[in-house]
Amino acid sequence: MGIIRRALDLALVAWRAFNRPAGHLSLGFLTIGGFVAGVLWWGGFNTALEMTNKEAFCIGCHEMKDNPYADLKQTIHYSNRSGVRATCPDCHVPHKWTDKIARKMQASKEVWGKIFGTVDTPEKFEAKRKELASHEWARLKANNSLECRNCHSADSMDITRQGARGAEAHQRFLFTGQATCIDCHKGIAHRLPDMTGVPIWTMPQQAAAPH
Amino acid sequence: MKHLRTALILSLLAPLPILGVPVAQRALATDPAPAQVAAAPSASVRDVKASGRPAFTGAEGLTVQEAPPIPKDATDDRRRQRNYPEQPPVIPHQIVGYQLDLRANKCLTCHAREFTGDSQAPMISVTHFQDRDGQVLGAVSARRYFCLQCHVPQTDVQPRVPNSFRDVDSVIREKDAAAKGGQ
């Protein structure tokens, strides 16, 4: 008997058992038991999901701890006068459930990167910095800087308390919808990559030219 | 059985030297009192022991001079007068968190020629486009790239070392006045 044949037989037996009405268990046990099992499963799933949504989880890998997290620690989003701070998922994982699941599925590629050591040295990370940053800029541009706006609301922004130049820029570009946060505020939580060719930023031609 | 008893007695005796520790501590401790007496009553001076930091080598008395708090940068966006024509203009705005390295130059996002129309910031001067042979380039010269080598923010503090600098105009005026007074 071939192995395929045997597997087919096994599948058939399983399907028959699955398809047959319960012989010994009551309907009440099955419905309530199913409900309880569902609650346990869903609770477990969400707990596991939230576990992966913590900074401690992110910097569990040295790739994240030594590169982006080290960057973050020098910025105002880590240390400031009021002690409010942003953790990795605050900016990098959407808060809405469906978007969050979509992002988590995308993150399976990061598991791939971890296994194959795509950015496992500072040099490799530097080489990829522009590409990685570009992904995040594109994401924030596409969702109108949603993760910024989870904390920073244009409505609650009192521009009279801002510097003159910032107030003017926010009035001209942000309030009119002409630009979104990430258009101007790149590199506010991590070191910037080589900004050649990025709008608003320039590089001197001497430094950009290959030597 | 005999071995067991010996071991038991030894294990009881083993911690006895601990009793000597307080005695040794008292015997070894040096008296820092004379040094502390020298501490000035000034609010900015604390004795070394209280500060937990080492005294400066050669400092008179074992005192620690408290550094004054770092003053805030002047960020009023008002251009400051230069003390002499070649003085690099100082920065009258906040630059905290500005990235300035080979990969990115935050200053140039406003002060580069092509952005001054939007930003209304002063353009980096024409000297910044010349290399050291005087050759004029299309963009900022590499030797002028790191802005903070010459341009710095200002704070309102009393200089530690007094400075009697006077600008050239006041020197000339004074000389003129002296010449007139002499006639």
User: Is residue A206 a part of any domain in this protein?
Assistant: no
CB distance A125 to A67 below 8 Å? yes
ipTM comes to 0.73
Q: Percent of chain A beyond pLDDT 90? A: 73
- Is there a domain that residue B125 lies in? yes
Higher pLDDT, A5 or B24: A5
* B117 in a structural domain: yes
Looking at the structure, do residues A113 and A97 belong to the same domain, yes or no?
yes
Cα A181 to chain center, whole Å? Answer: 18
Counted residue by residue, chain A has a size of: 211
CB contact under 8 A, A187 and B99: yes
- Shared domain check, A161 and A103: no
Q: What average pLDDT score do residues B60-77 get?
A: 74
| Residue B136, in any domain of the structure | yes
- Between chains, do A203 and B105 touch, taking CB under 8 Å as contact? yes
- Containing domain of residue B133, as a range? 72-157+165-183
Q: What is the pLDDT of residue A22?
A: 80
Q: Is pLDDT larger for residue B49 or for residue A59?
A: A59
pLDDT at B92: 93
| A102 token code pair | 């979509």
Residue A135 falls inside a structural domain: yes
Confidence tier at B22 by pLDDT (50, 70, 90): low
Cross-chain Cβ contact A187/B108 below 8 Å: no
Query: Which string of DSSP letters, residue by residue, matches B103-114?
Result: S-BSTHHHHSGG
Note the pLDDT of residue B41.
44
CB pairs under 8 A between A and B: 59
Q: Which of A62-66, A154-158, B6-10 shows the lowest mean pLDDT across its residues?
A: B6-10
Stretch among A164-178, B62-76, B80-94 having the lowest mean pLDDT: B62-76
pLDDT bracket for residue A18 (50, 70, 90): confident
B104:A207 CB<8 A: no
Report yes or no on A66 lying in a domain: yes
Mean of all residue pLDDT scores within chain B: 78
Q: What angle do CA A187, A198, B123 make, to 5 degrees?
A: 90
Q: Indicate the residue of A165, A200, A207 with minimum beta-carbon distance to B102.
A: A207
Residue A16 is assigned to a structural domain of this protein = no
Mean pLDDT check: name the lowest of A19-28, A134-143, A164-173, A181-190: A19-28
The answer, yes or no, to whether residue A209 has pLDDT greater than 50, is no
Please check whether residues A78 and A173 belong to one and the same domain.
no
Length of chain B: 183
Q: How far is A137 from chain B (nearest CA, A)?
A: 16
Residue A185 has pLDDT above 90, yes or no: yes
* Span B61-67, average pLDDT: 62
Q: Is residue A1, in this structure, part of any structural domain at all?
A: no
Domain-embedded: residue B145: yes
Q: A30-78: per-residue pLDDT in tens?
A: 999 999 999 999 999 999 999 999 999 999 999 999 999 999 999 999 9
Say what the pLDDT of residue B35 is. Answer: 42
Predicted confidence band of residue A200 (pLDDT cuts 50, 70, 90): confident
Domain count for chain A: 2
The model's confidence at residue A21, banded by pLDDT at 50, 70 and 90, is: confident
pLDDT at residue B117 is higher than 90: no
* Most distant CA atoms of chain B, gap in Å: 119
pLDDT tier, B5 (very low <50, low <70, confident <90, very high otherwise): confident
Domain count, chain B: 1
B77 and A164 within 8 Å at the Cβ level: the answer is yes
Number of C-beta neighbours around residue A10 at 10 A:
10
pLDDT of residue B20: 59
- Report yes or no on A61 lying in a domain: yes
Model's pTM, two decimal places? 0.71
**Percentage of residues of chain B with pLDDT beyond 90:** 39
Is the CB of residue B63 less than 8 Å from the CB of residue B38? yes
Residue A12 lies in a domain: no
B119 within some domain? yes
Q: Is residue A204 part of a domain?
A: no
SS3 letters across chain A: CCHHHHHHHHHHHHHHHHHCCCCCCCHHHHHHHHHHHHHHHHHHHHHHHHHCCCHHHHCCCHHHHHCHHHHHCCCCCCCCCCCCCCCHHHHHCCCCHHHHHHHHHHCHHHHHHHHHCCCCCHHHHHHHHHHHHHHHHHHHHHCCCHHHHCCCCCCCCCHHHCCHHHHHHHHHHHCCCCCCHHHHCCCCCCCCCCCCCCCCCCCCHHHHCCC
- A136 and A165 assigned to the same domain: no
Mean pLDDT of B48-62: 59
Q: B119 pLDDT band (50/70/90 cuts)?
A: confident
Nearest-CA distance A162 → chain B (Å): 11
When comparing pLDDT for B46 and A205, which is higher? B46
- What integer best gives the mean pLDDT of chain A? 89
pLDDT score at A211: 40
Confidence band of B156 (pLDDT split at 50, 70, 90): confident
**CATH number of the domain enclosing B142:** 1.10.1130.10
Query: Which residues, 6 or more positions from B74, have their beta carbon under 8 angstroms from its beta carbon?
Result: B92, B153, B154, B155, B156
Contact assignment for B77 to A165 by CB distance below 8 Å:
yes
Using an 8 Å CB-CB cutoff, list residues of chain A that contact chain B.
Answer: 75-76, 163-165, 187-188, 191-195, 200-207
Q: What domain range is A98 assigned to? A: 42-151
Q: Contact, B111 vs B119, CB < 8 A? A: yes
Smallest CA–CA distance, residue B79 to chain A, in Å, is: 14
DSSP assigned state of B50: H
Rounded CA separation A193/A186 (Å):
10
